[in-house]
Amino acid sequence: MFVKGSKIDFSKIRKVLLIQLGDIGDVVWTEPTIRAFRETFPALEVSLLTRGGFGELLAAHPDVRRVFSVASVKGGLLAEISAQSALVGALRRERFDVVFDLRAGDRGALLARLSGAPVRVSHYYAQDIPFWRNALFTHIVRPPPLETLVQGAAEQTLGIAREFGADTQDRAPKLRVSEQVKTRVSAILQESGIGGAGRWVSVNPFSRWSYKEWPHERWVPVLDALWVRHGLAAVLVGAPEERQQSALLVSRLAGRAFNLAGKTTLPELAGVLSRAAFHVGVDSAAPHIAAAVGVPTLTLYGPSDWRYWGPPGNRHRVVAPPDGCAPCFQKGCEGKGWSRCLEEMPVERVMEAVEQMVRGLGAGPEPR
């Protein structure tokens, strides 16, 4: 439903930019929208603007023409102004017909306006935004109510595309791993000793948000059981700042385990995850990427709503708190950076969910 502007004839549109300045998971969940535009309007050229290097995940996507990046710049105000001016110049040279801002932030709205696109579209946000933000857009679409969304995050973003006639039947995100990345991943696994480890499970025990983490020591019996009972090694993945935590956890495991945290680019991480028997971890980027490359996932949820963010399909499982205060969408209980619902999640419950994942493997993939 349009709050401002009206439907336009997209069959006459040539170049579109999607601005997604959210986290890695948000970028992954944008993929069905990209695919929807290209399936509905095959002649359309779709480009993407993301934060940092997050867009690298979609650089090999056949429906993405070009990826732009809002980089984090060191060197003070002048360096920041120079970098942003260069970005705006690059966007304006593209002469986009339509720009979609898929977030509620100020920066995306300003970049949409500065892009020079004659048509600028965003969702309608009634609260917690500057009064001037909506004035920067020619078209504003009211997002669908959360309770009506069957596939959560994907449909929230798809809602804005549907208003312009674009849609796709398969709303689960899909990422492609290029041949070059596959070659690099094979080398990484070989050099790390994982190449000869047989079948293994990828694990992300950590998050940049501590209130999404399960107590670290509880991973030890879960990952040890995977090795002792099933011969499944654990390959820990994560961001560079999680490397030391991952190394400490690996050192405490009795079973076979490897630490790849901070040792891959985002495309390489997707390639690593694509080779796992399954993935288990907390609510962070890795489960979204793993599901998008076709790997079964088990994700532990606390304050976030798994019904919105959980990967769709019966190959994926979640462990969420029983009915109570969760999902509360808070940054920890009483603002203290930890979540009681995760602190109280017992090892036995996670262990049983992991066993269900193992039982669902069948013969499983051959070691690679």
**284 within some domain:** yes
Mean pLDDT by 10 residues, the chain (368 residues): 82 95 94 96 97 92 96 79 91 97 91 97 78 89 66 75 91 93 96 87 93 91 96 96 95 95 96 97 95 96 80 86 73 74 88 94 42
Q: Are 354 and 209 in the same domain?
A: yes
Domain hosting 142: range is 2-162
Q: Are 186 and 103 in the same domain?
A: no
**337 within some domain:** yes
Q: Are 87 and 203 in the same domain?
A: no
- For the domain that residue 84 is a member of, what is the CATH number? 3.40.50.2000
**187 within some domain:** yes
Choose the final residue of a domain: 130, 162, 194: 162
Specify the pTM.
0.91
**DSSP β-bridge partners for residue 45:** 15
Tally of domains within the chain: 2
Say what the pLDDT of residue 257 is: 95
Q: How far apart are CA 266 and CA 7, in angstroms?
A: 36
**319 within some domain:** yes
Q: Are 268 and 311 in the same domain?
A: yes
**174 within some domain:** no
Secondary structure (3-state) at 206: coil
CB 337 within 8 A of CB 210: yes
Largest Cα separation within the chain, whole Å, is: 62
CA–CA distance from 125 to each of 51, 55, 117, 149 (Å)?
Answer: 21, 25, 21, 17
Q: Are 134 and 210 in the same domain?
A: no
Secondary structure (3-state) at 299: strand
Say what the pLDDT of residue 244 is: 95
Q: Are 96 and 210 in the same domain?
A: no
Choose the final residue of a domain: 105, 129, 162: 162
Q: Are 272 and 343 in the same domain?
A: yes
Q: Are 15 and 145 in the same domain?
A: yes
**72 within some domain:** yes
**151 within some domain:** yes
Choose the final residue of a domain: 132, 162, 192: 162
Q: Are 101 and 196 in the same domain?
A: no
Q: Are 292 and 330 in the same domain?
A: yes
Q: Are 25 and 73 in the same domain?
A: yes
Q: Are 122 and 203 in the same domain?
A: no
**47 within some domain:** yes
Say what the pLDDT of residue 130 is: 76
Alpha helices in the chain (DSSP H): 24-28, 31-40, 77-94, 106-114, 152-162, 179-191, 219-230, 243-252, 266-273, 285-292, 306-309, 340-343, 347-359
Say what the pLDDT of residue 96 is: 98
